[in-house]
Amino acid sequence: MAKIAFIGLGIMGKPMSRNLLKAGHSVVVYDVTPAPIAELVTAGAKAVPNSRDAASQGDVIITMLPDGPEVEAAVLGPGGILEGASKGSVVVDMSSISPVVAQKVGAACAAKGVDFLDAPVSGGEPKAIEGTLAIMVGGDTKVFERVQPILQNMGASVTLTGPVGAGNVTKLANQIMVACNIAAMGEALTLATRAGLDPEVVFNAVKGGLAGSTVLNAKAPMVISRNFQPGFRIALHQKDLRNALLAAESMKVSLPLTSTVQQMLMALMNDGKGNLDHSAIVMFLEKMAGVEIKKAASAKA
């Protein structure tokens, strides 16, 4: 069993930490918010006051933070991980950040003799709770093989996709596919509802065909029941698409669909919906059409 430091105990980090405890690992935890720390201490974790102290007590230091600036602060900043990490320890950043930032942090770790992997995840809160996340890893093969058994306590699939930064490129590709799928689903169900059909019947009719997908199966029922409790927030998906567009610009790659959906997400954030689940992308389309996706008996004509 490993000695693990886990930094970042939000919607995703808290259940991921809990799964490491269930697997029998020794886990120290740190977050800027006290409540999740208290919950995990009750579950068997040890609390520490900052990232430096967390790193000093872990052979593997995992971060799960909102974006690149938070990762840089936690790893490189005062009281940060590199002030406490020992030579030969491994930092695994499971946040979804820019590949450029991942490479910067990885280089700083290497200069201190600390190994680094970028290992963002997909699956949202439900799969974080189940321990069935898809984990996309960038880094050295030997370092990956060392940490892979730990990652398997949190994920159903753990895949090395290339060198440092490749994990986050893969995650950006994932986020493009998910966002565009939700937007397409929203357009389709808006059309069906406007035509007077029951969107639940339409969903059941198409889910077994070529249009069926994990995204459709997870998000259509949420939309139809008007349940937008966040498994993954609009604001975070907007951040991911922004990072995808910045990466694409640096490589001179055109992403027209991504750009359009990112603008939808920005509009929803400006409308006060940034903390809703990303299935609420459909609200942008509903507003344009003047129709709400729900059962035909109560849908607007």
Tokens of 97: 């950040």
b/e burial code for range 253-274 (CB count within 10 A of at least 16 → b): eebeebeebbebbbebbeeebb
Tokens of 133: 């996340």
Residue 41 and residue 17 in contact, taking contact as beta carbons nearer than 8 Å: no
Q: Which of 171, 239, 273, 294 is catalytic?
A: 171
Residue 279: C-alpha distances to residues 146, 178, 222, 229, 283 (Å): 36, 10, 7, 9, 8
Tokens of 28: 């120290």
CA angle 107, 112, 113 (to 5 degrees): 95
CA nearest to 109, candidates 135, 146, 71, 156? 71
Residue 249 and residue 215 in contact, taking contact as beta carbons nearer than 8 Å: no
Tokens of 289: 């059409």
3-state helix, strand, coil split of the chain in percent (to 5) is 55, 15, 30
Q: Locate tokens 């507003």: which residue? A: 287
Catalytic residue list contains 171 = yes
Residue 283 and residue 267 in contact, taking contact as beta carbons nearer than 8 Å: no
The C-alpha atoms of residue 223 and residue 236 are separated, in whole angstroms, by 19
The C-alpha atoms of residue 120 and residue 94 are separated, in whole angstroms, by 4
Which residues are known to be catalytic?
171
